Structure 1
Amino acid sequence: MADKGELVLVTGGTGFIGVYCIFQCLAAGYRVRTTIRSLKRENDVKKMLEEGEATNIDRLSFAEADLSKDDGWKEAIEGCTYVLHVASPFPPAPPKHEDDLIIPAREGTLRVLRLARDAGVKRVVVTSSFAAIGYGHTKKIEVYDEKTWTNPDGPGPSAYIKSKAIAERAAWDFIEKEGGALELSTVLPVGVFGPVLGPDFSISIQIVQRLLNGSFPGAPNLSFGVVDVRDVADLHLRAMTDPKAKGERFLAVSPPAMTILEMSLALRERLGKAAKKAPTRILPNIVLRLIAVFDKAVSLVLPELGEIKVMSNDKATGVLGWQPRSNVDAIMATAESLIKYDLV
């Protein structure tokens, strides 16, 4: 491993994607600084990295910064060659007002870009989301790819989906109008799975967790694009350094999309007794609607009932040589790690 010497800022170091980006930047020989909302969480990040057997943890430093405030961001970005802007607010339930999500996501992204430009950063990679591609369309989309944009004013997008689409649009507008020499790439993951390193993980992981612990009496009639968190981090590094990634969006998905029933049956087949509570039949839609009355996290997915979206990763694989794990392997890695940490 070469010592690259360059400093990379990873925002949102306690997050599931953030900690894997730190992991892979350290492994690639970079020095890494990460922002966390409170320095009290420094040991949490180090513990997750140690669980993953990270190398070079001594090359990691911390800065305290919050998406909703100016404090600390200038100092965090100073001296960095690259910025991976991973941090973004994700609500456990729909917010009272959509602006509670949209404004921090948009303004947080613009603050990072503005300060990165002023500090002479070479390239920023913004973690967007399939949420900025796959929603609000009035016409059927045959295949979702990077050319597709969510319409925040169209039918159906939740506050979170709007926040991701609006923040990414704002980023590209900033680069075009006032970015100067700063380069931008964006990575747009679908549902992020893969090995957890402790109790901090993406909301997608809860699907596997609930399948294993018997929370679902049946499999909700939903499907998701799947991608392994390790491959999402790998795509961030490729987007950060490859000259061909400048000014480009990359959809992070390992097709095809999987229904929750397919996930459940795969768990039962691969894990045997450990997955004995995983359902073998589809849950009627009306039951899920009743559950959503009491569980706000479930209410977020109701518009997706019965819909299967076809997604393409041709750009990431063709332009950047990205090779993601299979969707089933990502689900299995999730399940095995949840069992390991006794999180089911």
Structure 2
Amino acid sequence: MTETVLVTGGTGFVAGWAIVRLLQQGYRVRTTLRELSKERSVRAAIATQVDADERLRFVVADLMQDDGWEAAMAGIDYVLHVASPLSGEQTSADRYALVPPARDGTLRVLKAAVAGGVRRVVMTSAAATTRQRLDRDIVSDETMWADPDDPQFDAYRVSKILAERAAWDFMKAHGGKTEFTTVLPGAVFGPILTPGNLGSVAIIDGLAKGRPALMPMLGFWVVDVRDLVDLHIAAMVSPEAAGERFLGVGEFLWMADIARILRERMSNDDAPKRELPTFIVRLMAPFLGPLRTLAPLVGRRFGVSNQKARHMLGFRPRPATDTIVDCATSLKMPYQPGSVVR
């Protein structure tokens, strides 16, 4: 019998590629939308990569509402919980303001999955949930938890830390036979399926258009969305992955490295060339709105290990240069299957 996977948040960047990859591997897929009016656009995006036919179904369920989740979980074998109730720039002065929606949405999915007898839930968290204090020269791994009171973390990352902690606490106490695993990605780039809701890809889009003209010295542990989805699926089916966390990160790139790739590999003369001195960024950050949340990270390269995902699940992230090129290409024109050779 063909197994069925529920992917939360079908309009999202990661969710779209998860749906594609699951269908390519022969699964039936059900995905949640806040409103069915989005079904046509999601189907069109998925159709550029794979023939979904009757194997793709849609249900209405909102992370912030109880309605719909019981029906969404009926007959489901696995859940990839990749959706988040939060998006865009978070500028709240209260670093804990976003915790309730992130935590409650996650627990709503987990409670429904356990009640529905789902075999395993794989939740997308964030690599930042393992990051240690910036004054410590230490490589983060899955045994570590970030301190939400650490001032390096903005409201969004605080919410990710505490939502994942709440998820583990709930599953240890109430999970029953439902297994649980988390995947912790870095900065997710790669080809887009639709032009809306760019998320982290907006960084590439901005650099390709020459913004910012003076780049802050910010760095990212890059992961390709396609490799991240493969990691989720491996975490879903591998017996040894139950009860484990997996960091999904590839290479580290500074913002200036990304701009250089755009200039050299994409012949993009608009990509910026100059960096803003770190001390100026730190001085100006309190007056620059969303940028102030990034001030602690300017000029810092914090270590992260992906060895657990490599050894246990065969994670093999592609070169970050290929990810950046594929991402920038898709921003210029619709991504087509087979257009990129891994």
Q: Is the pair's TM-score, using the shorter chain for normalization, greater than 0.5?
A: yes
Does 2:112 match 1:119? no
What stretches of structure 1 of length at least 5 have no aligned partner?
none
Q: Residue 191 and residue 289 in structure 1: after superposition, are their counterparts in 2 closer, same or farther (change >3 A)? A: farther
Residues 95, 101 of structure 1: 8 Å contact kept: no
Once the two structures are superposed, the pairs formed by residues 229-240 of structure 1 within 5 Å of their partners are 229-240=225-236
Once the two structures are superposed, the pairs formed by residues 52-131 of structure 1 within 5 Å of their partners are 53-96=49-92, 97-131=94-128
Residues 26, 56 of structure 1: 8 Å contact kept: yes
Q: Residue 223 and residue 46 in structure 1: after superposition, are their counterparts in 2 closer, same or farther (change >3 A)? A: same
Question: How far, CA to CA, are the matches of 2:26 and 2:202 in structure 1?
Answer: 33
Question: How far, CA to CA, are the matches of 2:211 and 2:75 in structure 1?
Answer: 47
Question: How far, CA to CA, are the matches of 1:201 and 1:315 in structure 2?
Answer: 31
Q: Residue 48 and residue 5 in structure 1: after superposition, are their counterparts in 2 closer, same or farther (change >3 A)? A: same
Aligned-partner residue type, residue 204 of structure 2: V
Q: Residue 270 and residue 231 in structure 1: after superposition, are their counterparts in 2 closer, same or farther (change >3 A)? A: same
**Residue 33 of structure 2: aligned partner:** 36
Question: How far, CA to CA, are the matches of 1:56 and 1:172 in structure 2?
Answer: 33
Once the two structures are superposed, the pairs formed by residues 227-266 of structure 1 within 5 Å of their partners are 227-255=223-251, 257-266=252-261
Question: How far, CA to CA, are the matches of 1:202 and 1:130 in structure 2?
Answer: 19
Moved more, 333-342 or 58-67: 333-342
Aligned-partner residue type, residue 89 of structure 2: A
* TM-score, structure 2 as length reference: 0.92
Question: How far, CA to CA, are the matches of 1:138 and 1:339 in structure 2?
Answer: 37
Residues 152, 293 of structure 2: 8 Å contact kept: no
Q: Residue 102 and residue 302 in structure 1: after superposition, are their counterparts in 2 closer, same or farther (change >3 A)? A: same
* TM-score, structure 1 as length reference: 0.91
**Residue 146 of structure 1: aligned partner:** 142
Percent identical among aligned pairs is 44
**Residue 160 of structure 2: aligned partner:** 164
Question: How far, CA to CA, are the matches of 1:336 and 1:292 in structure 2?
Answer: 35
Say how many residue pairs are matched: 333
Moved more, 304-313 or 235-244: 304-313
Does 2:19 match 1:22? yes
**Residue 268 of structure 1: aligned partner:** 263
Residues 8, 30 of structure 1: 8 Å contact kept: yes
Residues 15, 200 of structure 1: 8 Å contact kept: no
2:211 match: secondary structure:
coil
Aligned-partner residue type, residue 21 of structure 2: Q
Residues 14, 200 of structure 1: 8 Å contact kept: no
Q: Report deviation, 1:243.
A: 0.3
Q: Report deviation, 1:211.
A: 1.0
**Residue 300 of structure 1: aligned partner:** 293
Q: Report deviation, 1:155.
A: 2.5
1:126 match: secondary structure:
strand
Question: How far, CA to CA, are the matches of 2:104 and 2:85 in structure 1?
Answer: 12
Once the two structures are superposed, the pairs formed by residues 332-343 of structure 1 within 5 Å of their partners are 332-341=325-334
Question: How far, CA to CA, are the matches of 1:148 and 1:201 in structure 2?
Answer: 31
Q: CA RMSD in A?
A: 2.0
Question: How far, CA to CA, are the matches of 1:40 and 1:98 in structure 2?
Answer: 34
Question: How far, CA to CA, are the matches of 1:267 and 1:288 in structure 2?
Answer: 27
Question: How far, CA to CA, are the matches of 2:293 and 2:33 in structure 1?
Answer: 27
